[in-house]
Amino acid sequence: MRLFDDVIAGVNALLPGPPTKAAPYDPARCATDGEKDRILFRSETAFELGGGGKPSVCTVLFGDEPAESRVELYGPDLDAIRADQPFAHVTFARLRVSDGSAAHYEQIQKLGFTVFQVYPEGFLIRVSPMSGREQARVAKAAVECRPPLSLLNVGCSLIREFRKHPEIAAVRTAYITDPAFDYTALADLAAKARSITSALDRALGGGELDCAACKMKPVCDSVEGLRELHFGKEKTS
Amino acid sequence: MIPMKPIIFAFAGKGGVGKTSLSAAFVRLLTEQYPEKKILAVDADPAVGLLTALGVEPRLTLDDIRMRIAESIDRGETADAVALLSEARFHLLDCIAERGNLSVLAIGRPEAAGCYCKVNAYLKQVLESAAGNYDFVVIDGEAGIEQINRRVMETVTNLVLVSDGSRKGLQVIRTIVRVAERLMPGVRTGAIFNRVRPAFDPAGQADLPPVLAVIGDDPRQTENDMRGDTVFDLPEDSPLFVGAKAALRALLAPEEADHAAV
């Protein structure tokens, strides 16, 4: 899987030192499931990660890591947060088979949507695929109870959702709440990942065949494998 | 005692008969009578008068979301249905203004000329997904029957038809009742006659839903509007407020009876 390699390397280089907390995936650690359409009202909310105009970033990257599923946290956990805070969430997913075919890439497009489909109780996640933002309202009840909800619990819930897809071999999900983290640099890398995904959409859909006229040209110029995927598909169709 | 399932009131009728003022009065009554319950007020009228009447202003309207998503698609960004739904869900919370136990949501006014189909489709979707979070929903609908005709109001449990004493006003609510009988099976209907002359007698009118309240001219409501005050500033003995109270009582009586039977 070459498409996201540069972005993955860039994200790993940005992550600060060893994580504050980390744990291997354990289904027993998953958060209690909430209801899909449940709104967490302001009056029930302790704080919003990525809320109040603070930076927020979300991206899902498919590549050759990780070896085993695990959750990592960089920065304070929920019980140590008192107000709206910058927030980032990066998911690295490895597929069982990575053959570089068009079908394979269509599959990863769909698997990326898994991050929209996690509903832990007391933790209202909202994701904007178009802007690459993820925010989460955290219920007062979730941080005041004992033991309080941890991002490790939320991460295990997300990994459990990914593992429902048989194509998934392992998932590493990293939450960043450290106020000193470079969210702008991560947002740039997430934007690059989105542009790769958009170029993939175009390539898989047939799309423009004249590179000089295509607005995705800069993306294809910088990401190895995209152009051959596009024209390889055209040759067989 | 009120049942857990959301009770959804929708106000409909001819333009200029006081739907917005009565919707706002319902919202005030519900927030005051049921402080432990959650109430959602939906301004579904493109004129967005309910927001002014309640004195609450959400940062975004649903139409703002629609515009943002449409612009993103135009820029060649993702148009996958799952992604679009997530995008709409992301912004929905920014469209809900909260004050105490009251949430307010506005459909907004499309800037572009043309039909309101997309906006109405949004309204329906939002009602279906968000309504379960509330005990009561009050919708100030647009004038006429468009939203009912297009099944936007399918989830409504109580349809409140508002008319003045004019022939046209009465004709509009008769039409709405006929359409609602076909498209909204099981909905409870009732009529509020507002701004009517003392001589007006609804008993003399054929084919009307049960009468919930008859309200005459209300100078206090007019003064309130002129000053730019909200419904929360309206004196409790104003005719509009007294009429709204009677109508709400009449509508909730069968709901309470249903609940007691369960």
The pTM for the full model equals 0.83
Alpha-carbon torsion angle B42, B39, B6, B140, nearest 10:
-20
The pLDDT tens digits of the residues spanning B177-229 come to: 888 888 888 889 999 999 999 888 888 787 889 999 999 999 999 999 899 99
C-alpha–C-alpha distance, residues A69 and A46, integer Å: 29
Residue B112 confidence (pLDDT) = 56
Classify strands B136-140 and B39-43 as parallel, antiparallel or unpaired: parallel
Q: How does residue B2 score in pLDDT terms, banded at 50, 70 and 90?
A: very low
Range of the domain at A121: 5-182
Query: How would DSSP label each residue in A158-223?
Result: HHHHHHTSTTEEEEEEEEE--TTS-HHHHHHHHHHHHHHHHHHHHHHT-----GGG-TTHHHHHHS
Residue A235 confidence (pLDDT) = 41
> What average pLDDT does the segment A110-127 reach?
91
pLDDT exceeds 70 at position B259: no
The number of C-alpha atoms within 13 Å of A35 and in the hemisphere containing its C-beta is 8
Residue A14 is assigned to a structural domain of this protein:
yes
Residue B70 confidence (pLDDT) = 74
Structure tokens at A50: 């990525």
Residue A237 is assigned to a structural domain of this protein:
no
Cβ pair A198:B133 closer than 8 A = no
Question: How many domains, in total, are found in chain A?
Answer: 1
ipTM attached to this prediction? 0.81
pLDDT exceeds 50 at position A137: yes
Cβ pair B78:A130 closer than 8 A = yes
- Nearest residue in B to A191, CA atom: B77
Residue A70 is assigned to a structural domain of this protein:
yes
The pLDDT tens digits of the residues spanning B158-182 come to: 999 999 989 999 999 999 988 888 8
Structure tokens at A146: 């004992």
Residue A157 is assigned to a structural domain of this protein:
yes
pLDDT exceeds 60 at position B9: yes
**CATH top class, domain B7-261:** alpha beta
Interface test with A, best of B38, B40, B56, B87 (most A CBs within 10 A): B87
> What average pLDDT does the segment A82-107 reach?
86
Query: How would DSSP label each residue in A49-91?
Result: ET-TT--EEEEEEESS--SS-EEEEES--GGG--S-B-EEEEE
Q: What is the CATH number of the domain that holds A120?
A: 3.30.1650.10
pLDDT exceeds 90 at position B129: no
**Sign of CA pseudo-dihedral A98, A104, A106, A112:** negative
Tell me the domain boundaries of chain B: 7-261
Residue A34 confidence (pLDDT) = 95
Query: Which residues of chain B are at the A interface, by a Cβ-Cβ cutoff of 8 Å?
Result: 38, 68-69, 72, 76-78, 80, 82-83, 85-87, 89-91, 93, 96, 98, 100, 103, 129-130, 132-133
C-alpha–C-alpha distance, residues A89 and B78, integer Å: 20
> What average pLDDT does the segment A35-43 reach?
90
C-alpha–C-alpha distance, residues B219 and A74, integer Å: 62
Interface test with B, best of A111, A130, A214 (most B CBs within 10 A): A130
